[in-house]
A and B are shown apart, each in its own frame.
Chain A
Amino acid sequence: MTERENLLALLRHEPYDHIPVEFNLCPALERTYREREHQPEQSYADYFGFPWRNVKGLVQDDPDLARFLPYFEGLMNDRVTIDSMGVGHESTPTSMHMTKMICPLRNAETVEEILAYPMPSFSAENNTGLAAEVQALHDRGVASAGNMQCTVWETAWYIRGMENLMMDMMTDEEMAAAMLDRVTEMSLQRALLYARAGVDILYLGDDIGMQNSVMMSRELYLQWIQPRLKKIITAVKAERPDLIVFYHSCGYVEPFIDDLIDAGIDVLNPIQSECMDFASIYKKYHDRLCFHGTIGTQTVMPFGTPDEVYQAVRRNLDAAFDGGLLVAPTHMLEPEVPWENVLAYVRACREYRP
């Protein structure tokens, strides 16, 4: 079985051959990988044999980001960059790979300002190489994924500001609807391009959980966010019923799992072990959902011993008695994670027989 065949079988609850490994390293840990594994060239995804690769980001119809500059008047300096959605990011000398976000519509007061925002658009004409790229991945034996996390809620608040958008949702419905609809429309264009190019996986996500609670009430979630997510998934699955939809949200999301299933997701990530008990979530939802993640990056990965990491991986694979678990660290691995713990995770996966 190729990595791709193995992964797709696992996610479709069919017999599969081995437990795949998959994780994300911060730049500092990637340097550790190169030193410790003596790999100056090869990517860690190739070295460890990850089951999928993201296809490259889509090209916007108007690639000139200078159109966003008016939103950052007086704020631009050599530490500020503007991303493809028009959101500003300011780095600081101490913040490593993280940046301070500057939301372009933070001061908007009218619907007109939201409608005037030069939101990116995406079309097939400007993304002609996509299908060939997907095929090339499949020919290599790895699955292909269109990564478009920050699907609705997060991109909308990155542009508008989280507090502003939440308050709009509570007290200014026209503003909230304009913002969320525009992002949904854009995400739908992107999702359809990926789906039509033949990707195996569409990786969606919006953080809607906090450490011990959800970010908003279920009423608000069902009023504003879930229907828009569902609209996107329904449209892509109408064309590609075989497409596997991953969905990421940090934190505690248990109260929303039924709603996410209703929206059409197939795989939930990351089941943060510090916030939710994987074994009980699995029991409740395994017949309708697969899982990706479950190994805590706030606890065992940075602070556990290699043996504790090894046991955590085995424990969760045992708990997933009916399969459907792609076991992995719950988030990007940060600089303080010992390299031995990463290797212990890999060893636990490789030594486990499904």
Chain B
Amino acid sequence: MSILTDISENLQKGKAKVVKQLVQQAIDEKIPVDQILNEGLLSGMSVIGEKFKNNEVFVPEVLVAARAMNMGASLLKPLMAEAGVQATGKVCIGTVRGDLHDIGKNLVKMMMEGKGLEVVDLGTDVAPETYVQTALDQGCQVICCSALLTTTMCEMENVVKKLEEAGAHDKIKVMVGGAPVTQAFCDQIGADCYTADAASAADAAVEICKSIA
């Protein structure tokens, strides 16, 4: 078994310490950094994402896999900058103003990082202008808004409006999600993409980033 397959399989089992050791070993063996990332860490996370989408694994399995990924990635990060490895795209994510629920948002973030996206986490209770300003300042292609409450989901429309006011809706797209959010709601407020689960959100964000780049 190649070391990269080994990294992927241990990541899927959530064995963080083993993943970290194997990533160090792969670095020592001079395997290119982007190959360790893509064929080791992200390949493992991609399997977990698919299984999560199909209800074969659940949140706890995703959490331990993401922890393993982050431990491996912490070794790769400094080397990636040196090697000029670029992220697939950049997303800023947050739970909308007035809403403090972050479990779903955190899960989407993990899935997106597992697809090689760089994610700026704005936390919860995020004002519409904060999303837009961050996306502009940091060069994000996607703004990703989460809401759990019917009371707060209407804030998503304000994010779209702010983005349009800034004249940036052509180069930054708005994704929406969360328990009460639907495709119909997404269409109604002029957002660009709705997905029903975290793994699909990550796939959709990758597609958007590709189409913009």
Contact = CB atoms under 8 A, between A and B. Distances in A.
A213 B67 contact: no
B100 A217 contact: no
The size bracket of the interface on B is: 20 to 34
Q: Chain A: interface residue count, which band? A: 20 to 34
A280 interface: no
A303 B153 CA distance: 13
B60 A334 contact: no
A77 interface: no
A24 interface: no
A220 B67 CA distance: 19
Contact of A100 (B64, B67, B103, B124): B124
Contact of B98 (A94, A99, A166, A170): A94
A169 interface: yes
Contact of A95 (B58, B63, B125): B125
Interface string A31-54: 000000000000000000000000
A163 B63 contact: yes
B157 interface: no
User: How would you classify the secondary structure of chain B's contact residues: helix, strand, loop or mixed?
Assistant: loop
B59 to A, nearest CB: 6
A299 B153 CA distance: 13
A226 to B, nearest CB: 15
26 contacts: A95-B98, A96-B151, A100-B124, A162-B103, A166-B60, A166-B63, A167-B63, A171-B14, A171-B64, A210-B104, A212-B197, A213-B58, A214-B58, A215-B58, A216-B59, A216-B60, A217-B58, A217-B60, A220-B58, A274-B179, A274-B180, A297-B150, A302-B150, A334-B150, A334-B151, A335-B151
Given A100-B100, A167-B63, A217-B57, 12 more contacts: A94-B97, A98-B99, A167-B14, A167-B60, A170-B61, A170-B64, A212-B196, A213-B197, A215-B58, A216-B59, A220-B60, A251-B179
